[in-house]
A and B are shown apart, each in its own frame.
Chain A
Amino acid sequence: MRNIGLIIGREYRERVYKKSFIITTILMPLLMVLLGAAPTLIMEFVDGETKKIAVIDESGLVAPKLSSDEEIVFEISSKDLPDALVEASQTEECFGVLHIGKEIVENPNDARLYTTSSSSLMIEEYIADQIEKVIENERLKAYNIENIDEILEKVEASVHLATFRTDKEEESAATSAIASSIVGMLLGFLLYFILAIYGGMVMQSVIDEKSSRILEVMVSTVRPFEMLMGKILGIAAVAATQVLVWGVLIILFSAVIMPALMPANILDSVQQVQAGADVALLATQQDVSPEMLTAMASLLDTGHLAMIIGTVLLYLVGGFLLYASLYAAIGASVDQAQDAQQLTMVVTVPIIVAFVVTMMVMKDPNSPLVFWCSMIPFTSPIVMVARIPSGIPAWEIATSLILLYASFVVCVWGAAKIYKIGIFMHGAKPTLKDLWRWLKY
């Protein structure tokens, strides 16, 4: 045991004290935030440039009702089309010319957009939507209904579905499918990356020990099993440290920074939602979407977050131990990383399958395929973690965790056998058949 402790310590220190570890641990969350904010930021930059569109409206009905916004500004033009086009090509900020035919109400297709640079789907839809609305209104008006404008305003509605889980008593609070599936996806991603990256790290480090010939010195002192366990646990501790740091950062963010940044009235409603108030009602009062409100509520629920992070850690450690023992066995049986490619297929295929299934969790977190994949040890760490935010019965989590840890024990036993023989094999590249023979040796 003392030896395993010493080895864990060495493996841990070698990695955690590295500059690159400290940098990625701190930069990764920042990068994630930036990545999340990127679309908004990009929009901000695009916004700085307003597009002017000259409107030649022969019908005279549409142009006055086109509403400009920060991005697109409509200017009514009285010129002929050819003149307007010439002018547009000479003025830099003019994006194009919108020509609307005389009979636009009868013939909705009689609208053309001439642009000086390439247009985008968004702009085209934006303009078409506006024209559509004008035409629809005009057509309705043709029926001569009284107070038509008022009626139209009242008729307009937009629907947000607030979802409630009724199968569980303790969680009567609203769950937001979109928020939980996004969080689930992110967690699935996280596990995928950590299993693949840290698993590869275990393999590389075994190969390094083999090629630097330190192994023989080590093995003359400690048992191969102690070396294997020490290495796996040491690197697992590194991964856990990284995730813990991220977890603490996230909880800090949700408990301290988010509330400080949020407008007081929204924060107030979020707290009411957490206390079990009616989401739909509050949403209407505060004029925000209920989806948004429930997402906020779960993001700001520190206890809930801590529970998720805790479960994720359990899966992370279990999944890592399982995969790391396989990676270590592969590393022990080859001389160079290049030789390992064929063998690593055995390990990467389940990881990728799990990753693909994770995409399906978004659609339905309780479909049979997803359920079974979250039970089978090789895919369960990734798939189950993606399901957790949608609320999973405790027995499912317990069963899949027990299966996961049990198969880890079996895998380590097998890996140790391969490891013991593999580390002294130099030269020939072993095949799966060789590994099977070593396993039975």
Chain B
Amino acid sequence: MSNIITAEHITKRFSAHTALDDVSIEIPRGSVYGLLGPNGAGKTTLIRTINRITLPDSGRILFNDKPISQKDIFKIGYLPEERGLYRKMKVGEQALFLARLKGLSRHEALLRLKEWFVHFGIESWWDKKVEDLSKGMAQKVQFIVTVLHKPELLIFDEPFSGFDPINANLLKEEILRLKNEGATVIFSTHNMSSVEEICDHITLINKSKNILSGKVDDIRREHGGNIFSVQYKGDNKALMERLHGVCEVIENEESTTGFSSLKIHIARNEDIRSVVSLVNDSVNMRQFIETIPSMNDIFIRAVKE
């Protein structure tokens, strides 16, 4: 599988700080690619660099293995985090204007717009002014404008922020549909559950650096080593004493009525059987299983490291 975007050693400095420090990523064609990272990590700058809004100080961006140029812009659809439309314009007129800027003919743009408006059930908005729309409504219009010219590459910056759960679901479905139609989707987010559901690849950016990159499944397997959850009934204190120095306790939830639970990390050189017998000796054990960590856990651990 070839890469649609290759970013090579991108560095971007602003007067006060470095936004991107030698960041390299490869985005495979046809993937849904998540850019994760805390606020201010440099996600938006990376996205702006990919679609040529800002130029990097050093490094380069390849689009389909060739340095990206202005004409490639028509093959990209971009939905910025800070969404905006001309407030005084009518919805239809504005969508038409933006679509034509993307290189569509007036006729073609009208046809596709009508189709999308019907698809979203918003035909009645055509002659409304943008300032009369709610934020969520305006976002739908912007989504349509972003995907209308059927770009090979779609970039969404924080697409789920500001959407209610129903519309967020709709958006997820649309993203998966676009992927099935052959588009590549990049999006940045802090919403980890959405990453698990729809991303195949991720890159984690923290403090201007790429700290983790790869397939979601691989990352989870790699980082999922040796975390176990334990359910039991019995003396929590005694158990903690026994476990001290043997393994690391990540979570400890004590319950007086039902089962208490633990989440522990066992070092690779430690024998799992001995830990199991240790627990079994001190309390009434009900369950001892390995857990695959959520992206959330990986995210938090990676950022802490």
Contact = CB atoms under 8 A, between A and B. Distances in A.
Given A220-B78, A221-B73, A221-B101, A213 B53 contact: no
Given A14-B86, A214-B86, A217-B142, 11 more contacts: A10-B97, A14-B89, A212-B84, A212-B85, A212-B86, A213-B82, A215-B84, A217-B84, A220-B76, A220-B78, A221-B102
B84 A216 contact: yes
A212 B87 contact: yes
Nearest to B145: A217
Interface string B258-302: 000000000000000000000000000000000000000000000
A6 B80 contact: no
A424 B54 contact: yes
Contacts of B101: 3, 6-7, 218, 221-222
A31 B153 CA distance: 56
A3 B74 CA distance: 12
Interface in B50-109: 51-54, 70, 73, 76, 78, 80, 82-89, 97-98, 100-102
10 interchain residue pairs of minimum CB distance: A213-B84, A214-B84, A216-B80, A213-B82, A212-B84, A220-B78, A221-B101, A220-B51, A219-B53, A10-B97
Nearest to B51: A220
20 contacts: A7-B101, A10-B89, A10-B97, A14-B88, A14-B89, A208-B87, A209-B84, A214-B84, A215-B84, A216-B82, A216-B84, A217-B84, A217-B142, A218-B101, A219-B53, A220-B76, A220-B80, A221-B102, A223-B70, A424-B54
B51 A6 contact: no
Interface in A194-232: 208-209, 212-223
A6 B97 contact: yes
A220 B73 contact: yes
B1 to A, nearest CB: 26
Given A219-B53, A220-B76, A214 B85 contact: yes
Nearest to B155: A220
A217 B89 contact: no
A6 B94 CA distance: 12
A217 B70 contact: no
Nearest to B97: A10
Interface of A: 3, 6-7, 10, 14, 208-209, 212-223, 424
Nearest to B130: A212
A222 B83 CA distance: 17
B53 A216 contact: yes
Would you call the interface of chain B mostly helix, strand, loop, or mixed?
loop
A3 B103 CA distance: 9
Contacts of B70: 223
A151 B86 CA distance: 80
B100 A6 contact: yes
Nearest to A216: B80
Nearest to A226: B101
Q: Indicate the member of A6, A7, A10 with the most B CB atoms within 10 Å.
A: A10
A7 B100 CA distance: 10
A193 B82 CA distance: 36
Contacts of A209: 84, 86
Contacts of B80: 213, 216-217, 220
B78 A217 contact: yes
A217 B51 contact: no
Given A3-B101, A6-B97, A10-B97, A213 B83 contact: yes
Nearest to B78: A220
Contacts of B83: 213, 217
A10 B86 CA distance: 10
A127 B53 CA distance: 78
B64 to A, nearest CB: 18
Nearest to A421: B54
A160 B163 CA distance: 79
Contacts of A217: 78, 80, 83-85, 98, 142, 145
A175 B88 CA distance: 49
A167 B83 CA distance: 64
Contacts of A223: 70
A221 B100 CA distance: 10
Contacts of B78: 217, 220
Contacts of B89: 10, 14
A179 B73 CA distance: 58
A214 B101 CA distance: 13
A216 B53 CA distance: 8
Nearest to B149: A221
Contacts of A7: 101
Contacts of A10: 86, 89, 97
A364 B80 CA distance: 58
Q: Indicate the member of B54, B85, B86 with the most A CB atoms within 10 Å.
A: B86
A7 B89 CA distance: 13
Nearest to A218: B101
Nearest to B88: A14
Q: Indicate the member of A214, A215, A219, A222 with the most B CB atoms within 10 Å.
A: A214
Nearest to B85: A214
Nearest to A423: B53
Interface string B181-222: 000000000000000000000000000000000000000000
A13 to B, nearest CB: 8
A223 B52 CA distance: 10
A219 B51 CA distance: 10
Contacts of B73: 220-221
A155 B19 CA distance: 92
A14 B54 CA distance: 29
A277 B73 CA distance: 69
Contacts of A218: 101
Contacts of A222: 101
Contacts of B142: 217
Q: Indicate the member of B83, B84, B102 with the most A CB atoms within 10 Å.
A: B84
Contacts of B102: 221
A208 to B, nearest CB: 8
A212 B142 CA distance: 13
A424 B82 CA distance: 12
Interface string B24-58: 00000000000000000000000000011110000
A6 B104 CA distance: 12
Nearest to A437: B15
Contacts of A208: 87
B34 to A, nearest CB: 20
Contacts of A213: 80, 82-84
Nearest to B84: A213
A424 B14 CA distance: 12
A208 B84 CA distance: 10
